[in-house]
Structure 1
Amino acid sequence: MTIDELEERLSEPTPAVVAALDALDGDFLILGAAGKMGPTLARMAKRAVGKKRRVIAVSRFSDPATRAALELAEVETIGADLLDVDALLALPDVENIVFMAGMKFGATGNEPLTWAMNSFLPGLVCQRFTTSRIAAFSTGNVYPLTPLHQGGSVEADAPGPVGEYAQSCLGRERIFEYFANTYETPVSLLRLNYAVELRYGVLCDLARKVWEGTPISVAMAAVNVVWQGDANAWALQSLAHASSPAAIFNLAGPEQLSVRRLATQLGKLLGKEPHFEGEEAPLALLSNGQKAHRVFGYPTVPIEQVLEWTAAWIKNGGPTLGKPTKFEVRDGKF
C-alpha cells in the first residue's frame, strides 16, 4: 500500500457518513485540523459533501505540506493560533464544528499550556460558536483503569482521570457540557481510544518494537483499537447526534485485545520473535464501544486486516509519524 492509497482509505466516507452530513444544514469547520487524524477527517467530510458545501480546516499548519495537501483535496484552510482570541473571532460563522485541538505529548513539564489547550480553549470556542453544532474529541483517559473482566468503561461510568493530561481532558468535557446546558449548544463528546493507522498508533508501536527487537511492556495488559477511518466516520456522524445536554460516545473497537497476543501475531507476520518485559497488571485503560457501534455501525475494517497491513508496512520500510502513543503509561504522565 502506498501513502496515497492509505490516505484514500482513511478518508473514504461511508454511506452512513454521506447520509448524516447530507441531513445537516450548513458548512463544516475543523478546528485543530493538522494533527494525526485531522487531515483525513477533513478530506472525508469534503468527499462526503462534495462541492455543495464548504469544509474549512483551521490550524497553525507548522508543516506547509499538510496545508497544501488539504487544499489540493479542495478543503479550504485558515492558518490560526486558536488561543489567539482575535484569530478565533475572525473565523467564519459555520454551523458544524469538529473540535480536534488539544495537547497530550509533552504535557508533563508543560502543564500550563496543557490546561490552556485542553480546558481553556474549549470555553473560547463555545463562546464564539454558541449556536453551532459541535463534535468535540475527548479521550478514554478520562476513565480510571478498570479490571480486565469488567469489559471496559461505559459512558455512564464515573470519570477517574489519572494525571494532569487526563484531568485537563475531563476539564474540556465539563466546559463543553456547561455550554451545552447553559446556551443549549448541541454537543457530542467523543472519548477515543485508540485510533490506529499504518504510520501511527498502538499496532504501529508494537510492530516497530517487534521488528527492532525492543522489549515490549505488558503491564498494560489489554487495549482497544479502531481503524482511524472508522473513527473519522463515527466522529462526523456524531454531529447529527449532538445534543443539549451533551451526548457522550466511546469511540473504541469492539475487542478487548491482549497486548501480548497482538505482539505475538505481529511477530508471526513479521517473522520476528517479540521480546516482553514485566507482567500483566490486573487493571487497564479500557472502553466499551457498544453504544457507538449501535448508533454509528460496526467498524468496517477488522483488526486482523489492520494487523496484516501494519506488519507489511513496517516490513517494507513504510514511513511512520515518529510519535509513540505511550499506551503503556499507567501513571498519566505523558
Structure 2
Amino acid sequence: MTQRYPEYFASEEELDDFMSTPDQGLIDDLASLDGDIMIVGVAGKMGPTVARMAKRAAPDRRVIGVARFSEPGLRDYLEAHGIETITADLLNREQVAALPRARNVIFMAGRKFGSNGSEELTWAMNSHVPALVAEHFAGSRIVAYSTICVYPFTPVAHGGSREEDPVSPPGEYAMSCIARERIFQHFSKTLDTPSLLLRLSYAIDMRYGVLHDLASKVLAGEEIDVTMGHVNVIWQGDACLQSLRSLCHTTVPAQPLNVSGPETVSIRWMAEEFAKRFGCEVKIVGQEAPTAWLANTSRAASLFGYPNVPLARLIDWQADWLKRGLGSLGKATHFEVRSGTY
C-alpha cells in the first residue's frame, strides 16, 4: 500500500497532528505491553509528540508526562490531548521519589545547549538525574534517550558508527551523555531493570532541526560551511514511533540502539536542493571533512523497518514551511560544530 503524505502543513496544529500519528506497528506493540506509560522530561522538543503519539496508539492506557513545565501553555496542551501531567524538578530527590511507578518509562530529560560555562549543571542533569530515576523505576521498562554524539567522528566512507563500536567523543557534553548511559546500564544490571539506550541523530520538525537550520541560511543568502559535511536525519514522527516501539526491545543489561535515517546525507547536496526550491543561489564555503558524526541504523531497520517519511519529502516540506514564514522554535542545532562545545 502506498504511503500517503500531506503536500504541505497549513499550520502548526496540522504539523503536530500528523507528526504524532501512530502507525499499526506501534499500536500492536503497545497492545502487547502491560502497564501505564510515563514520559520523564516531556517538556522538551520531542516530548509532547511522544506523549500524544502514545495516547493515540493506546487510548485506554494512562500516559503521564513529567516536567517542570516552565513553558506557558504546554501543560494545558498535553492535558487537552488526554495526557496526565505531573510537575516535578528531577534534580530533587524527594520529588522524583513521589512519582508514581509506571511500568513503561521513556526518559527524555537532559541538557545540551548552554553547557559551556555551566558544565556542572550539565553533568548533574545528564548523570545525577538518571541515577535518581533509574533507582526509583527499578524493574520498569526504560527507554533512555541518548545521542550519537557519544561516538567519535567516523570516516564518512565507513557507513557510520555501529552500536558495538567504542565511545570516545569530544567535549564535556558528550562525555556527560556517556555518563548517562553508564548510569542506566549500571542500574539495569544491578536492579534487573530492562532498558534500552536510544542513540538519536537529528530528528526533523519543520520548526527545528538540521533541515530548518540549513534551509533558513540558504533562504537568507548566508554562507553554508560544509566542513561538517554529512549527517543522518529522521522525521520526528518516525523517531517517536521507534522510541515507543523500543519498549518492546529493552534488555538486562541495557543495550544501545542507533535511531536515525538510513542515508549518509551531504550538507552540500541538501543546500543545493533547497536553493533549487527557493530559486536562489547557494554560497558554499569550506571543504568537507573526511569524518563526521554518523550512525549505522541497520539494527533499528531490522526491528522497525525503514522510516515512513523519506528524505526528499522532508526537504519539500521544509522548503514550503519556510517560504510561507511559518513558526520556528528559534533554537539552532549547531550540527556544524566539531569541537563538542555547545
Q: Secondary structure at the match of 1:104?
A: coil
From 31, 36, 39, the equivalent of 1:22 is 31
More off after superposition, 267-276 vs 22-31? 267-276
**1:85 and 2:93 equivalent?**
yes
Q: Distance in 2 between matches of 1:274 and 1:329?
A: 20
From 301, 305, 317, the equivalent of 1:297 is 305
**1:316 and 2:327 equivalent?**
no
What are the within-5 Å matches in structure 2 for residues 44-55 of structure 1? 44-50=53-59, 52-55=60-63
More off after superposition, 139-148 vs 271-280? 271-280
TM-score by length of 2: 0.96
TM-score by length of 1: 0.99
Q: Distance in 2 between matches of 1:276 and 1:77?
A: 46
Counterpart of 1:40 in structure 2 is 49
> For residue 67 of structure 2, what is the amino acid of its counterpart?
S
Instruction: Give the deviation of 1:302 after TM superposition.
Output: 0.3
Q: Secondary structure at the match of 1:19?
A: helix
Counterpart of 1:57 in structure 2 is 65
Q: Secondary structure at the match of 2:58?
A: helix
Length, aligned pairs only: 333
Q: Distance in 2 between matches of 1:189 and 1:14?
A: 22
Instruction: Give the deviation of 1:197 after TM superposition.
Output: 1.3
From 9, 15, 18, the equivalent of 2:18 is 9
Counterpart of 2:333 in structure 1 is 325
Counterpart of 1:231 in structure 2 is 239
From 244, 247, 255, the equivalent of 1:247 is 255
1:251-285 alpha-carbon deviations (Å, 9 max, x no partner): 01000000000010011111121212211111111
Q: Distance in 1 between matches of 2:71 and 2:202?
A: 24
Instruction: Give the deviation of 1:215 after TM superposition.
Output: 1.0
Counterpart of 1:155 in structure 2 is 163
Counterpart of 2:279 in structure 1 is 271
Q: Distance in 1 between matches of 2:101 and 2:157?
A: 47
> For residue 326 of structure 1, what is the amino acid of its counterpart?
H
From 255, 266, 269, the equivalent of 1:261 is 269
Q: Distance in 1 between matches of 2:237 and 2:44?
A: 15
Q: Distance in 2 between matches of 1:36 and 1:267?
A: 27
Instruction: Give the deviation of 1:66 after TM superposition.
Output: 1.4
Q: Secondary structure at the match of 1:64?
A: coil
Q: Distance in 2 between matches of 1:36 and 1:93?
A: 24
> For residue 312 of structure 1, what is the amino acid of its counterpart?
D
Displaced runs of 4+ in structure 1, greater than 6 A? none
Q: Secondary structure at the match of 1:153?
A: coil
Q: Does structure 2 conserve the Cα–Cα contact (< 8 Å) formed by 1:241 and 1:247? A: no
Give unmatched runs, 5+ long, in structure 2.
1-8
Counterpart of 1:215 in structure 2 is 223
Counterpart of 1:114 in structure 2 is 122
Give unmatched runs, 5+ long, in structure 1.
none
Counterpart of 1:184 in structure 2 is 192
Q: Does structure 2 conserve the Cα–Cα contact (< 8 Å) formed by 1:108 and 1:333? A: yes
Instruction: Give the deviation of 1:35 after TM superposition.
Output: 0.7
Q: Distance in 1 between matches of 2:176 and 2:161?
A: 19
Instruction: Give the deviation of 1:93 after TM superposition.
Output: 1.5
1:172-213 alpha-carbon deviations (Å, 9 max, x no partner): 000000011111100011000010110000000001001111
Instruction: Give the deviation of 1:303 after TM superposition.
Output: 0.4
Q: Distance in 2 between matches of 1:272 and 1:302?
A: 24
Q: Distance in 1 between matches of 2:317 and 2:53?
A: 21
Instruction: Give the deviation of 1:85 after TM superposition.
Output: 1.0
**1:171 and 2:189 equivalent?**
no
> For residue 36 of structure 1, what is the amino acid of its counterpart?
K
What are the within-5 Å matches in structure 2 for residues 71-150 of structure 1? 71-150=79-158
Q: Distance in 1 between matches of 2:29 and 2:211?
A: 30
Q: Distance in 2 between matches of 1:79 and 1:277?
A: 46
> For residue 14 of structure 2, what is the amino acid of its counterpart?
E
> For residue 145 of structure 2, what is the amino acid of its counterpart?
F
Q: Secondary structure at the match of 1:161?
A: coil
